[in-house]
């Protein structure tokens, strides 16, 4: 989610700024950019590349309470994205939400640089932007999941939509889905997440 200036007349204008960023920023308490967060709850310690273990420790789980499988397909300009989630038998669905987002890779544009990375050069010319948020197929904060929507421990939702007009190359698209739950102590926690490219057919990752 890019945002360092949203005005096209500004020299700091980001062509990949996501217009729905305000609602997401408010929901996770984001106050400035660049900011790195894990599970929409924990700020990564700067400098982030030197603290990779912090991310690993927060995301590793030997026994996740749910599994995810994404099957996205593309026919011309039409997208069909099927998301399946399989929950443990005793899962508490209060405050459980599904988030599904469309990302695009390999977008080339100049990038302002507020860090010492890349030799401290500002502006970085012809920077490759990957995992750029192009659309949120759910509310950016997530759509509520009710236990009434679960059949044999599995929740299924299918999205159909046209490729957004802001997408430069549909062959570089991917889909990310994750499920959060606010029943945990502290801020919202992402319980599981998964990414898929169009044409992938995923099954649950079960032992």
pLDDT at 5: 42
pLDDT at 8: 45
- Whether 29 shows a pLDDT value over 80: the answer reads no
pLDDT at 7: 43
Residues 16-26: pLDDT tens digits?
888 887 877 88
Structural element, H or E, at residue 25: helix 21-28
Give me the domains of the chain, ranges plus CATH numbers: 63-197 (2.60.40.10)
pLDDT at 13: 58
The answer to whether the CB of 136 falls within 8 A of the CB of 20 is yes
Mean pLDDT over 60-82 rounds to 89
Q: pLDDT exceeding 90 applies to what percent of the chain? A: 48
pLDDT at 53: 80
Mean pLDDT over 38-42 rounds to 72
Cis peptide, bond prior to residue 201, ω within 30 of zero: no
């Amino acid at each position: 989610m890019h945002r360092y200036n949203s005005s096209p007349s500004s020299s700091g204008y980001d062509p990949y700024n996501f217009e729905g960023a305000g609602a997401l920023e408010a929901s996770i308490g984001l106050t400035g950019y660049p900011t790195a967060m894990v599970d929409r709850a924990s700020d990564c310690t700067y400098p982030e590349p030197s603290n990779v273990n912090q991310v690993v420790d927060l995301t590793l789980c030997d026994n996740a309470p749910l599994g995810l499988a994404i099957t996205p397909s593309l026919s011309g300009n039409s997208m069909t994205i099927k998301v399946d989630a399989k929950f443990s038998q005793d899962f508490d669905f209060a405050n459980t939400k599904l988030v599904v987002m469309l990302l695009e890779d390999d977008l080339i544009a100049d990038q302002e640089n507020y860090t010492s990375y890349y030799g401290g050069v500002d502006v970085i010319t012809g920077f490759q932007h990957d995992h750029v948020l192009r659309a949120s197929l759910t509310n950016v904060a997530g759509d509520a999941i009710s236990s009434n929507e679960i059949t044999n421990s599995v929740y299924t939702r299918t999205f159909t939509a046209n490729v957004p007009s802001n997408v430069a190359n549909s062959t570089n698209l991917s889909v990310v889905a994750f499920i959060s739950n606010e029943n945990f102590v502290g801020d919202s926690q992402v319980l599981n997440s998964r990414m898929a490219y169009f044409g992938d057919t995923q099954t649950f990752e079960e032992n």
